[in-house]
Structure 1
Amino acid sequence: MSVPSSAIVAVVIPCYKVKRHIQSVVASVGPEVHTIYCVDDACPEGSGDFIEANVSDPRVRVLRHAVNQGVGGAVMTGYRQAISDGAAVAVKIDGDGQMDPTLLPQFIAPILRGEADYTKGNRFWDLRQIKQMPLLRRVGNLGLSFMSKASSGYWDLFDPTNGYTAISLPVASHLPMEQISRRYFFETDILFRLNTMRAVVVDIPMDALYGDEESGLKVGKILGEFAFKHARNTFKRIGYSYFLRDLSVASFELVAALALLLLALFFGGWHWWESAQNGVPTPLGTVMIATVAAVSGLQFLLAFVGYDIASVPRRPLTGVLVPRRQA
């Protein structure tokens, strides 16, 4: 799959403890890429100095952080520089060798064809390849994928923590970069931000590659943090999409669902407690009121979810948005 020579394509590589792999990663980046931004995120190994001393590829530019900002901060620095340099598309890959640079054209092509604003890898596309992924990662990704669908609004995507991504830089220039999560929540937080812009996101099938690298993402440490942030983004997205930016039939379905479910919970719960305290059966009419309210609330909630799933953005912003100057 070829990339038009007129398209200025950039690659952003966050560099933090990647000295063992960075040379081979850069060497594997194909000629379709014009500039490779290696962002030394205050690396204790001195990745920036190592790259300048040992990588002769003229496309490589080293950007430096005086203080570690996390993978999200490093990627945002790369995006800003690529926008300033007039690039059309930026691809983010890691420097640890887990992402195959030969797949770059597949990530770039949908954006250049005007079919997508953002593309991301999906390691679950080919079921035969999933066995290569450690069991804990498989289980973690399943849970995170469901939470990400609700918080981002992209119900047709999977593998939300996949860091192999490409973005249209005119679209990236409109992102609130200062508000996007800087650490491991970066990949899923940017999906939430893209949905608020109604950007089109497409999954790209890819295989999982695992070598001698060590992942810094520990499921036990981030599970609670991710659950909280997903819940926060879910409420924010629904507020933006259904009550601030627009008011649709789904807005009323959600209000009705919440009202009925709360009625069932508190009305039914109160009368059940009262009957238990007095040692008498709950009146049949009271039980029916709570039951009908609960069933009706669930029906309205399912109708809202169905509407939300059908509302995944389908019209790309690429080619419509004018790039915004970065500070």
Structure 2
Amino acid sequence: MNIRDEKFKVAVVIPCYKVKEHILSVIEKIGPEVDTIYAVDDKCPHNSGEYVIEHCQDTRVKVLFNEENQGVGGAVLHGYRVGLDDGMDIFVKVDGDGQMDPGLVKYFINPIINMDVDYTKGNRFHDIDTLKPMPKIRLFGNAVLSFMTKFSSGYYHLFDPTNGYTAISAVALKKLPLEKISKRYFFESDILFRLNIVGAKICDIPMGAVYGDEESNLNIKKIMVPFLKGNVKNLFKRIFYNYFLRGFSIASVELVLGTLLFLFGMIYGISCWSESVSSGLPATSGTVMLAALPIILGVQLLLSFIQADIENQPRISLTRLLSDRANRSDY
């Protein structure tokens, strides 16, 4: 049977931590395109899970509990695992604090249903006018984090990496090492890195943001350094996996040769400059060229590598690829 003829089972996963005042309103706004709603109580001190059980009448809701607080990523992963066991096909992650419009779910799942992509995520930066209510510190922080995540994930066309409004196909989710994904606030950025490693195709979905009386648990100042460390680590892992472990191309040569030339030029130039300062004798033109030329060539090669890395994007979604393989095996 062609996968297009089947009805996709859609699940919404809502991490619940200090969202007691907003969670019922969020659930009420989730449309009929969703089959199951997993509300995951992440050891909430306000007992959000029990509150949902007592006051929510939506029969689609299943309340899950974490025995200890695991962070937003840990709560979402719990919902993912249960949903996979329940046979869900698409998972949408929506925060329970009211900052995300549940009416947008259909826009997040449509590209996945059409098998155009495996993963969709919200982008609040698409429309400049919607950024006016965003606190300036969050605006600046998101811009910096977006720049870092572009390099670490390899998805250079994406923005707003900390946006938690996402959707993912079960096909792509089963390819990910769920036990290795970060469980705290680095979850969204880390999962982008993991998706690139398995060759998943993703896209941004333009959306606005709602800022009311809800209290955000995300502190840009506190997460900046951990995000920097995590992104640098993922960058090196991605480069090693994609260009040396699983494949080797001209871009691999450009990276190695460019790095060696740049480092040689810098080290040689600094040493010659130090010697010139201590001796009081100016460096010869030949010495200057011997230091400058490797730096220039190294930079050119590294820029060529970055250009190749930008163009190295998944062309076909895993959902379509695996579906096509399954269909061919039927004949």
Q: Give TM-score, length-normalised by structure 2.
A: 0.95
Instruction: Tell me how far apart the structure 2 counterparts of residues 220 and 37 of structure 1 sit (CA, whole Å).
Output: 31
Contact 2:258 2:298 in 1 (8 A): yes
The answer for the alignment partner of 1:151 in structure 2 is 152
Q: Which residue identity lines up with residue 192 of structure 1 in the other structure?
A: F
The answer for the alignment partner of 1:34 in structure 2 is 35
Q: Kindly provide the CA deviation profile for residues 155-178 of structure 1, in whole angstroms up to 9, marking residues without a partner as x.
A: 000000000000001210121111
Please provide the CA RMSD for this pair.
1.3
Determine helix, strand or coil for the equivalent of 1:132.
coil
Deviation at 1:29, TM superposition (A): 0.3
Contact 2:116 2:320 in 1 (8 A): no
Instruction: Tell me how far apart the structure 2 counterparts of residues 312 and 214 of structure 1 sit (CA, whole Å).
Output: 37
Instruction: Tell me how far apart the structure 2 counterparts of residues 220 and 103 of structure 1 sit (CA, whole Å).
Output: 29
Moved more, 9-18 or 126-135: 126-135
- Percent identity between matched residues is 54
Determine helix, strand or coil for the equivalent of 1:178.
helix
Deviation at 1:320, TM superposition (A): 3.7
Contact 2:121 2:164 in 1 (8 A): yes
The answer for the alignment partner of 2:109 in structure 1 is 108
Moved more, 50-59 or 269-278: 269-278
Q: Which residue identity lines up with residue 122 of structure 2 in the other structure?
A: G
Deviation at 1:113, TM superposition (A): 0.1
Deviation at 1:253, TM superposition (A): 0.2
The answer for the alignment partner of 1:281 in structure 2 is 282
Contact 2:108 2:167 in 1 (8 A): yes
Deviation at 1:4, TM superposition (A): 8.9
The answer for the alignment partner of 2:237 in structure 1 is 236
The answer for the alignment partner of 1:77 in structure 2 is 78
> Runs of 5+ in structure 2 lacking a partner?
324-331
Determine helix, strand or coil for the equivalent of 1:56.
coil
Instruction: Tell me how far apart the structure 1 counterparts of residues 7 and 228 of structure 2 sit (CA, whole Å).
Output: 43
Q: Kindly provide the CA deviation profile for residues 139-162 of structure 1, in whole angstroms up to 9, marking residues without a partner as x.
A: 111111110000000000000000
The answer for the alignment partner of 2:328 in structure 1 is none
Contact 1:5 1:32 in 2 (8 A): no
Q: Which residue identity lines up with residue 67 of structure 1 in the other structure?
A: E
The answer for the alignment partner of 1:257 in structure 2 is 258
Contact 2:169 2:319 in 1 (8 A): yes
> Runs of 5+ in structure 1 lacking a partner?
323-327
The answer for the alignment partner of 1:173 in structure 2 is 174
Q: Kindly provide the CA deviation profile for residues 85-117 of structure 1, in whole angstroms up to 9, marking residues without a partner as x.
A: 111101000000000000000000000000000
Instruction: Tell me how far apart the structure 2 counterparts of residues 12 and 266 of structure 1 sit (CA, whole Å).
Output: 52
The structure with the greater share of residues assigned to helix is: 2
Contact 1:171 1:321 in 2 (8 A): no
Runs of 4+ in structure 1 deviating by more than 6 angstroms, as ranges, are none
- Map 1:48-67; keep pairs closer than 5 Å: 48-67=49-68
Deviation at 1:215, TM superposition (A): 1.3
2:260 counterpart of 1:297: no
Q: Give TM-score, length-normalised by structure 1.
A: 0.96
Contact 2:16 2:96 in 1 (8 A): yes
Instruction: Tell me how far apart the structure 2 counterparts of residues 186 and 315 of structure 1 sit (CA, whole Å).
Output: 24
What number of residue pairs does the alignment pair up?
A: 320
Contact 1:119 1:202 in 2 (8 A): yes
Instruction: Tell me how far apart the structure 1 counterparts of residues 187 and 56 of structure 2 sit (CA, whole Å).
Output: 28
